[in-house]
Amino acid sequence: MPKEKYDPPDPRRMYTIMSSEEAANGKKSYWAELEISGRVRSLSTALWSLTHLTALHLSDNSLSRIPPDIAKLHNLVYLDLSSNKIRSLPAELGNMVSLRELLLNNNQLRVLPFELGKLFQLQTLGLKGNPLAQEIMSLYQEPDGTRRLLSYLLDNLAGAIKRTFLVCAVPTEQPPARSWISLQEPDRAHPATLFSVMCYNVLCDKYATRQLYGYCPTWALNWEYRKKSIIQEIMGCNADIISLQEVETEQYYSFFLPELKEQGYDGFFSPKSRARTMSESDRKHVDGCAIFFKTEKFSAVQKHTVEFNQLAMANSEGSEAMLNRVMTKDNIGVAVLLEVRKEMLEISSGKSLHGLDKQLLLVANAHMHWDPEYSDVKLVQTMMFLSEVKNIVDKATRSFKLSTSGETSAIPLVLCADLNSLPDSGVVEYLSTGGVDCTHKDFKELRYSDSLTKFNCNGKSSTSNGRITHGFKLKSAYENGLMPYTNYTFDFKGVIDYIFYSKPHLNVLGILGPLDPHWLVENNVSGCPHPHIPSDHFSLYAQLELLLPSVPSQVNGLHLPARR
C-alpha cells in the first residue's frame, strides 16, 4: 500500500494535570496517548474500552502475556511493548491494521504469529533482544526487512492455519452465496423475452500488486490463482451477456475467449488506446474492455470501439482542459449491436413472430478514468461515450429501417461500466436524469462548455438552457442502495460499477445482492482481493425483460389490427 506520512509520538512526553479550578470551569480533557509503567504484571480489562487511543506505551513492565482483547483498540497506530517478559503474542494482534509502529524489543519471544503479516501499514517493527529463530531474524535484518518479514508471515498464514487447525484468523471456508433480490414480476400483458447481464471488473494482473493491496498474500494476488476463481464466478452466474473491465489483451485471447467459447459465447474486445503505439510484446499486457454474449440467443450485427482521447482531440474547440486533461487519458469503451435470435423470441412469447421487425439490442461497456481528482474527465468521458452510442443507434435505425415512436429509440440499450464515480456524482446524475448543467461542480470550473455542445443529444445547434443532455431514458438496475459497495479495498469502499438499461423497452426483474457483510466482519476482511475474493470489485448481475412490439395478426396474407 502507498505509505502515508506517519509522525511517531514525541519521545519527550509531557504530562499535565488538570486543576480543580479548570475542571470547575468546564475545561474538557482529551488524550489520545496512554502510558502505563511501574513493573505492571497484568492489565486491567477496563483498558480495552479506551478505543479512542492512538498510542499506547507499555514498555519497561513485567508483562508476560498480552490478552487477545488488545485488538479492541483498533485506532492504535503506535504500540510499545518493549522490555517486558512476553513469551508469545495473540493472533488477534494481526487485526490491528491501523498500526504503523510496533515495538517488541527485549522480550522472550521465540515465535511470531503469522497473523502479524496482516499489519500491512506497519512501518516500524522492533524485534531486537528476542530469542527468535534464525530464519526470522535473517529476513528481518535484510534491507527493507520489516516489509520482507511481514510478506513472509502473510504468505504463510493460510498454510499455518491448515497445518495447526488452532486459529481461524482468515476465512477457511468460502463466503456464503450472494442472495437473489426479486424486484418485480414479468409483464404478462405484453410479449417479452428475458435475458441476464453481468458486469465485472476482474482486476488486471499488472495492477494486482502488494504495493496497492498489502493486506492480500502474494500467492492470492497471483493471476494463475485468481483467474480460476474469476472464471468460476463468471460461469456460475451463466449470464447471457457478460461485460468485463480490466481484461489484459493476452488473457482475453488465451484465457477468457477460449474458456467462454466452450460455454457457447462469442466475444469482442478492445484494449486501451496506448496499445496502438506499443510493440507487440508490450501490447499484450495492456488492459481493456470485453463483451461476451451467448450465440444461441444473440448474433453480432456490429462491433464498435470508442476511444475517448481521439474524441477529445477532434472536439476540443480550443478548450485547454479538453486537450490537457481529457485527451491525455486513454480509456476506451466498446459496444456490440446484437440481434435477438427469432427462436429465442418465439420460445419466450410462445407464438410465431412472423412479421416482427429485426429485434436489436445495443450492449455498451466502458471503464472511465480512475483518479478522484479528475471528476471532470470522468464526466466528459461519459458524455462522449453516450454521444457515440447515440450515433450507433441512429445509424443502425436508419440502416435497418426500424420504426421509432416519438423520442423513444427503436433499439434498447444496456450500459455496463466501471464509472469510477459514486452515486452522488455528476456522472451518475447525467446518466440517470438525462443531463447535467454546464456549471456542475464536477467540471471544477474548467472551460469545457463550447467543446461539449457537440455531445448534446440534439447536436451542436440545440439549445438546452446550459445543460448537456442525452436522449436515453436510463435507469440503474441497482437503485436505492441495493448494493452498499461494488469496490471493496482497505482505503475505499463504495459503489462505482453500474448496469443501466433504457426504458420503456427494458425492465429489471431481479439482481444479485451483496456479499453477506457479517462474513466480512467476522473474518476481519479489511479489503479485497482476498484468498476467496479474486478482485477488488464485486460482480453485478441483473435479469432484464425486453418488451417486444405487438405483432400484427395475419389472415391469408392480410394484416389485421392486433388485439388489445
Active site residues: 418
Q: Cell numbers of 430, please?
A: 447525467
Cell 534464525 sits on residue? 134
**Which one-letter amino acid corresponds to residue 446?**
L
Distance, in Å, from the CA atom of 192 to the CA atom of 173, rounded to the nearest integer, reads: 41
For residue 217, give Cα distances in angstroms to 93, 150, 170, 269.
17, 10, 11, 30
**Which one-letter amino acid corresponds to residue 185?**
E
| Burial (CB count within 10 angstroms: exposed 0-12, middle 13-18, buried 19+), residue 26 | exposed
Distance, in Å, from the CA atom of 239 to the CA atom of 142, rounded to the nearest integer, reads: 49
| Signed CA dihedral, 495, 193, 180, 335: sign only | negative
C-alpha radius of gyration, the chain, whole number: 29
Pick the closest to residue 506 from 477, 468, 471 (CA basis).
477
Cell 493486506 sits on residue? 215
Q: 3-state class of 112 per DSSP?
A: coil
SS (H, E, C) 386-405: HHHHHHHHHHHHHHCCCCCE
Q: Cell numbers of 79, please?
A: 504500540
Other beta carbons within 10 Å of 300: 16
Pick the closest to residue 212 from 499, 491, 497 (CA basis).
491
Distance, in Å, from the CA atom of 373 to the CA atom of 438, rounded to the nearest integer, reads: 18
Q: Are 511 and 477 in contact (CB under 8 A)?
A: yes
For residue 514, give Cα distances in angstroms to 242, 397, 480, 541.
18, 37, 13, 10
Q: Are 107 and 82 in contact (CB under 8 A)?
A: yes
Who's near 7: CB < 8 A, 6+ residues apart? Answer: none
Instruction: Classify residue 144 as left (phi > 0), alpha (psi -120 to 50) or beta.
Output: left
Report the half-sphere exposure of 151 (CA within 13 A, side-chain side). Answer: 17
Distance, in Å, from the CA atom of 538 to the CA atom of 515, rounded to the nearest integer, reads: 8
Distance, in Å, from the CA atom of 277 to the CA atom of 312, rounded to the nearest integer, reads: 18
